[in-house]
Amino acid sequence: MNARVSTHLAPAEALDALRDVAPLTQCITNAVVTNFTANALLALGASPAMCDLPGEAGMFAGIAGSVLVNLGTPTAEQREAAREAARAGTPWVLDPVAVGVLPVRTALAEELVAQAPTIVRANASEVLAVAGRASGGRGVDATDDPDSAADAAFCLARRTGGVVAVSGAVDLVTDGTDVVRVHGGSALLTRITGGGCSLGAVMAAFLAVASPLSAAVAASLLYSVASDAAARVAHGPGSFAVAFLDALAATTSERLQDAEDRLAWATIEVAR
């Protein structure tokens, strides 16, 4: 089902809407995280589809509710599939993994940013690299914090006309006018494969039912709540990964509503 809705929703409302629709979420993502990403979407209540073949990717994007393009392992086939999907007109998320330090994915990220992704989800070093402000982090690891990338995120959001979500200890989400900081969340997310990449997929799933800013905020808040719940019962990264999937499924809209005090909203006053 292609539920292309542009509605401003509170996180709790967005979660209810997503679970009512079970949006078909196409993932062109990296080989390391494919299974965990699919499981995260299923736990959330979405319907994952790992369709990344050239000749099919663009066609499938036309019927999907939303698309994730993750550049973690950009094979030649995935690069062409990403180009096809980005041209389909379906809301989509770009996750520019390890851009800045590696030339193939950096060039592809520049090309895809020109296609105006609905959301760019990345760590601070990746956002700085995509915005042309720095050369990237240490592979997939950030060497910068979200506040240091705030100005770059504002400018990138205005350039694409979409939303930029900067992941970190406190996530920063902006559409170039409003900025939302999402507090909380367990550091164990950084100790499992797919903790960040699957967040991009969850943002894509929310894009099928909510506006870009609402989708990015709802996904970030859900991750904050679910990861904290998982950390309370986990004994380490392995048990955390399983508990996190359970927590994604168990988190209710009422729980998200109760957690909205983790959100700090502001308006950007200085034009950049």
Name the binding residues.
50, 121, 167, 194
Task: Specify whether the CB–CB gap between 143 and 127 falls below 8 A.
Answer: no
- Measured CA to CA, the distance from residue 15 to residue 40 in angstroms comes to 14
Which residue blocks in the chain are alpha helix, DSSP H?
11-21, 34-44, 57-61, 76-86, 103-113, 124-130, 150-160, 197-207, 212-233, 237-250, 253-258
- Measured CA to CA, the distance from residue 193 to residue 36 in angstroms comes to 8
Q: From the annotation, which residues make up the binding site for ATP?
A: 121, 167
Nearest to 69 by CA among 201, 163, 172, 210: 201
Q: From the annotation, which residues make up the binding site for substrate?
A: 50, 194
3-state secondary structure of 233: helix
Nearest to 212 by CA among 163, 263, 150: 163
Please give the structure tokens belonging to residue 145.
Answer: 């914090």
